[in-house]
Chains A and B, each alone.
Chain A
């Protein structure tokens, strides 16, 4: 291993203020220099020559650091989020809007019919449940992929392969529901339960993979806005830690009390009271979040 690199690199960075950015850059440069030196050595240079050449090719370190990162050099007022939004506005494609609306109406209709068939309100039995359910799944899968392919004001269109992946995962998830519903309608059809299970696993696997490998598709103006919190008021929980911890405590109290009441009601009266309490607690949590995160100026006086 070429140790001259480390000495020369330290010399080059001598006198540079070691900000986190500079430290990270130094480490990045180090690995690149070692690879370059190895290439030069393979071409016949001596270790010392290779290290010197690699460093020399790099040029002055000040050029690498450039202007201090993230600092704007002009004093011009930064455009507000609303101005940036107007500047970057992308109108939705009319054909897409019509398509998505009609297909959603269609999916609603087939889903409703499938539910009615499942409860034997309309005839058709498990075949109708499966057929209508699969139709709903296919339509919604297509709408999902189609939507992701659209360019929006804040996002670039997703690459076709990925969009199809999300659409397929959506289809598999809904198709597994349809299979299980058809099986519930006629428990003799064991194959449907197996197919439903396989589809559910495929859907979960595909969703997980897509989620884990997803990369950014925000436009740079959105990234800039979120970096600088130019969106009107900054998020209160980020600027006011006390409010954030109070929110946590209040939420805990609401849900603990809710669970206690739910257990009592379920034992004393009927199990479905649990659902009522769940609903009440969810609404209470949302109201709490709304009032605390975007608190009024008076309540959040300490924030900007």
Chain B
């Protein structure tokens, strides 16, 4: 059981960049909201660690795939929002296409029958 958890977590972590781009495609967002979106989608079983996410934001911003700006919250900490760029959208589309193609190959190789 533990081993399968680690396998699933690995798969999720390996796609962190694309997952974050996917969340931002729905609209500008900040760290907590992005983390929550991933947590909710994963059903609480598998999580991407916050440290991984912060590193991802930095890398995506350096590569020009997202832009950041500070929100204007009047009380409490100001939030750092991220916005996907046109480059980010293009990369996202390419990665999704690659994922769909790879998933099909792996399904075939692992002899996965669609039992849903």
Which positions in A face B, CB cutoff 8 Å?
A: 1, 24-25, 27-36, 39, 57-60, 63-64, 66, 69-70, 151, 155-159, 162, 214-220, 222-224, 227
Contact = CB atoms under 8 A, between A and B. Distances in A.
A35 B32 contact: yes
User: Do most interface residues of chain A lie in helix, strand or loop, or is the interface mixed?
Assistant: helix
User: Size band of the B side of the interface?
Assistant: 20 to 34
Given A57-B50, A216-B85, A219-B87, A28 B63 contact: no
Contacts, number: 109
A220 B61 CA distance: 10
Interface in B11-44: 30-33, 35-36
Interface of B: 30-33, 35-36, 49-51, 54-55, 58, 62-65, 67, 71, 73, 75-80, 83-91
A183 B31 CA distance: 56
Given A35-B32, A35-B33, A215-B86, A27 B50 contact: no
B65 A220 contact: yes
Contacts of B67: 215-216
B89 A159 contact: yes
Contacts of A155: 87
Given A28-B79, A157-B90, 19 more contacts: A1-B76, A28-B30, A29-B31, A32-B31, A36-B35, A60-B51, A156-B86, A159-B86, A215-B85, A215-B86, A216-B85, A216-B88, A217-B85, A219-B87, A220-B62, A220-B63, A220-B64, A220-B65, A223-B63
A162 B90 CA distance: 13
B76 A31 contact: yes
Contacts of A162: 86
Contacts of B86: 156, 158-159, 162, 214-217
